[in-house]
Amino acid sequence: MRFDVVTLFPEMITAAASYGVTGRAIEREIVSLSVWNPRDYTGDKHKTVDDRPYGGGPGMVMKYQPLHDAVNQAKLAGSKDTKKVVYLSPQGKPITQRLLSEACQISQLILVAGRYEGVDERFVNRDCDEEWSVGDYVISGGELAALVVIDAITRLLPGVLGHEQSAQQDSHINGLLDYPHFTRPEQIEDYSVPQVLLSGNHADIDNWRMKQALGRTWQRRPDLLKNKNLSAEQNYLLQQFKSEVE
Ligand code: 9WO
């Protein structure tokens, strides 16, 4: 899969993506990452990428033409397979694990990171296929959101994570929060590792983990349980969790 990021701060993207799982996926050529700076597609001597908003008001708006030209260069650099141009903004469709897993099928994802007060709306409507949000908050630009999208998609691509982690990933895709994790030492002051995890009984451990995942989801994110069909076994484990809370 190919990622292209249109941004005024290209080093922010290449630097952050060079670490960890994304860095390894790039090295192993499972994904490629290119950056495109709208400033390189300006024509004036001041390399102007922004201008004052029509209608007045504070701040500046990113101009249409440098963004348009940067996206077009990104498109030309890819193959003629499936492409999608996505603008990152708080006005976008909230991303979910489901949306990201569907995005794995796209061969070229062009992510546009805005700055200032945003971009000329004609760029969003004419040049972008979709608008995505990584959450209901405002940050100073779309770069961190683009990095979230790149990271979350990359870890879903075949061969990026090991077998162990892929199995764990499947348990996340089932839409529950994670269960708690413990490592050595066995005791920290008066806080011990739950006995079941030391038992070596893998059926008991699996049940405990499922019960914790269900219980924590029920406590912290009941909205995630609303549109989910639990198995008879899961319902039993959740009832057990609830009775233990009391
Ligand atoms: C700035 C601003 C200042 C005064 C009044 C209103 C304002 N809105 C904004 C604003 O939304 N700035 C954006 C900064 C412009 C587009 C890029 N920026 C951005 C993207 N902030 N947050 C995101 C984002 C992207 C994806 N998911 C969540 C947030």
Domains in the chain, please, with CATH? 2-154 (3.40.1280.10), 171-245 (1.10.1270.20)
Q: Is the dihedral of CA 29, 27, 142, 44 positive or negative?
A: negative
How far is residue 215's CA from residue 178's CA, in Å, rounded to a whole number? 10
Give, using CA atoms, the residue closest to atom 23 of ligand 1.
Answer: 89
Q: Over range 120-140, report the average pLDDT.
A: 98
Ligand 1, residue 58: give the atom nearest the CA: 4
Q: Over range 156-173, report the average pLDDT.
A: 78
Q: Over range 125-129, report the average pLDDT.
A: 98
Query: Using 50, 70 and 90 to split pLDDT, how confident is the model at 166?
Result: confident
Cβ-based neighbours of 221, under 8 Å, separated by 6 or more? 177
Kindly give the distance from the C-alpha atom of residue 94 to the centroid of ligand 1, in angstroms, as a whole number. 14
Kindly give the distance from the C-alpha atom of residue 63 to the centroid of ligand 1, in angstroms, as a whole number. 16
For residue 149, give Cα distances in angstroms to 13, 105, 108, 146, 152.
Answer: 12, 14, 13, 5, 5
Kindly give the distance from the C-alpha atom of residue 174 to the centroid of ligand 1, in angstroms, as a whole number. 31
For position 163, what pLDDT does the model report? 76
**Site to substitute for ligand 1 among 138, 148, 151, most atoms within 8 A of C-beta:** 138
Res. 122: pLDDT tops 70: yes
Res. 230: pLDDT tops 60: yes
Query: Using 50, 70 and 90 to split pLDDT, how confident is the model at 16?
Result: very high
Share of the chain above pLDDT 70, in %: 97
Query: Using 50, 70 and 90 to split pLDDT, how confident is the model at 172?
Result: low
Task: Specify whether the CB–CB gap between 39 and 47 falls below 8 A.
Answer: yes
Q: Which of 112, 177, 103 is nearest to 146 (CA)?
A: 112
**Site to substitute for ligand 1 among 139, 150, 151, most atoms within 8 A of C-beta:** 139
Res. 54: pLDDT tops 90: yes
For position 59, what pLDDT does the model report? 97
Q: Provide the strand spans (E) within 158-243.
A: 187-188, 191-192
Q: Over range 71-87, report the average pLDDT.
A: 97
How far is residue 148's CA from residue 232's CA, in Å, rounded to a whole number? 35
117 close to ligand 1 (CB < 6 Angstrom): yes
Res. 109: pLDDT tops 70: yes
Ligand 1, residue 113: give the atom nearest the CA: 17
Res. 197: pLDDT tops 70: yes
Q: Which tokens is 121 given?
A: 């709306």
Catalytic residue set: 90, 117, 155, 170
For position 167, what pLDDT does the model report? 63
SS3 content of the chain, % helix, strand, coil (to 5): 45, 15, 35
Kindly give the distance from the C-alpha atom of residue 122 to the centroid of ligand 1, in angstroms, as a whole number. 17
